[in-house]
Amino acid sequence: MTGGEGGHDALFDRAPDDRVRVLDESGALVGTPPDMSDAELVEIYRHMRLARHFDERAVTLQRQGRMGTYPPMAGQEAAQVGSAVVLDDEDWIVPSYREHAAVHVHGLSLSEILLYWMGHGAGGWGADANVFPAAVPIATQIPHTTGLAMASKLGGCGGEDGGVSGNRPQAGDAVACAYFGDGATSEGDFHEGLNMAGVFDVPAVFVCNNNGWAISVPRERQTASPTLAGKAAAYGIDGVQVDGMDPLATYRVMRAAVEKARDPDERPRPTLIEAVQYRFGAHTTADDPTVYRDESEVAAWRKRDPIPRLERFLRETGRLDDDRIDEIEADVRAQVAAAIERAEATARPDPETLFDDVYAVRTAELDRQRATMRRLRDRYGDDAFLRD
């Protein structure tokens, strides 16, 4: 561990409401920048531009009836990209349903992400990416993360003889990172998961994407705690609040937390990171946010948009110019278009496979339901199930 203004101790020894910042809303430096190369900084920008364009196209696909319900992430790119780029390939991400950018940075292809929201069983995971399936139930992935980190610590989640994955992390090498929203901190799974993580010193990082709204419930109506980072004290672990729309601040905090979790010379310790941010769009494409929040609130947060903020910093420091931005724009458009084409070209599974993986062995009740479905398909045809 290192101390001083730019060291890890300075990050973890601050008050829970002493938010870590590196860039202000205009892209000017207001804190200690992380030690990164020019190429690494531009790559974070490219990832965020890719995530924004992917998100826009995904919403359009849903509106066109080409995909199911989708949770937009616009506004939350910095916290996802700035944290995920810190992780090594051997580390694990245990996401909620909105971490499209984080799981892509960690190895999941864009087409695999799209397939998940298209309801395809092949979507949402990849054989070569250490990414758990997205957790739609709130906070259930947090105890999973603690268990995964404990398995890593004990050396039980890797190796050729089985475990979570036959070719994945070896003893003590892997850090498990959970992503969840602010609403998850009011669930029992949050308390149980972080309590166990603190008691057993597991190599885990818990990233709370605090966007201020648990669907339509504002943050102040679900907890009286002044900050979410402050809840870490109850579990004897570090909690730190960061500007989640500042990718460099998020990177700096995440780097420190991962190094602390992986430190070979000291006992690994988990960290709770509260990344304060905002979602510009709806909770999901089935939601209408205009019924519970004012447009003036959205407009105020749009001034903190992480993408132009980092772009201004990179331009003013000579790392980015118009030509490079045009190249990035063309690249992300082509990448997303290709991913959509791959996803839509993927053969759709037989509807009856819906019943195959509910349990390890299909039950008599599931067999009965499958038979009922078969009779309905024979009687009415598959088109009947696709009409609104």
pLDDT at 8: 67
Selecting among 292, 302, 368, 375, the annotated active-site residue is 292
Structure tokens at 241: 């609040």
pLDDT at 388: 61
Interatomic CA distance for residues 248 and 44, integer angstroms: 9
Selecting among 255, 283, 304, 309, the annotated active-site residue is 283
Structure tokens at 75: 């506004």
pLDDT at 163: 45
For the four alpha carbons of 224, 22, 103 and 53, in that order, the dihedral sign comes to positive
Q: Which residue has the tokens 């199911």?
A: 68
Radius of gyration of the chain from its Cα atoms, rounded to whole angstroms:
21
Structure tokens at 177: 């990172």
pLDDT at 314: 98
The answer to whether 165 and 156 have CB atoms below 8 angstroms apart is no
The answer to whether 52 and 336 have CB atoms below 8 angstroms apart is no
Q: Which residue has the tokens 């309590």?
A: 195
Interatomic CA distance for residues 59 and 44, integer angstroms: 23
Interatomic CA distance for residues 77 and 24, integer angstroms: 16
Which residues of the chain, if any, have pLDDT below 70? 1-9, 156-172, 264-266, 387-388
* Catalytic site includes residue 292: yes
Cα angle: 234, vertex 236, 239; to 5 degrees: 80
CA distances from 238 to 47, 134, 139 (A): 29, 26, 19
Cα angle: 303, vertex 45, 17; to 5 degrees: 50
pLDDT at 243: 98
* Catalytic site includes residue 97: no
Taking Cα atoms as reference points, which of 4, 22, 21 lies closest to residue 13?
4
pLDDT at 247: 98
pLDDT at 159: 45
pLDDT at 266: 67
Q: How far is CA 244 from the centre of its chain?
A: 12
Interatomic CA distance for residues 118 and 348, integer angstroms: 10
pLDDT at 357: 85
The answer to whether 343 and 111 have CB atoms below 8 angstroms apart is yes
Taking Cα atoms as reference points, which of 191, 190, 211, 207 lies closest to residue 71?
211
Burial class (CB in 10 A: 0-12, 13-18, 19+), 369: middle
What are residue 282's DSSP bridge partners?
none
The answer to whether 95 and 116 have CB atoms below 8 angstroms apart is no
Selecting among 52, 168, 262, 279, the annotated active-site residue is 279
* Catalytic site includes residue 116: no
pLDDT at 354: 87
pLDDT at 167: 46
Q: 77-84 vs 247-262: helix axis angle to the nearest 10? A: 40
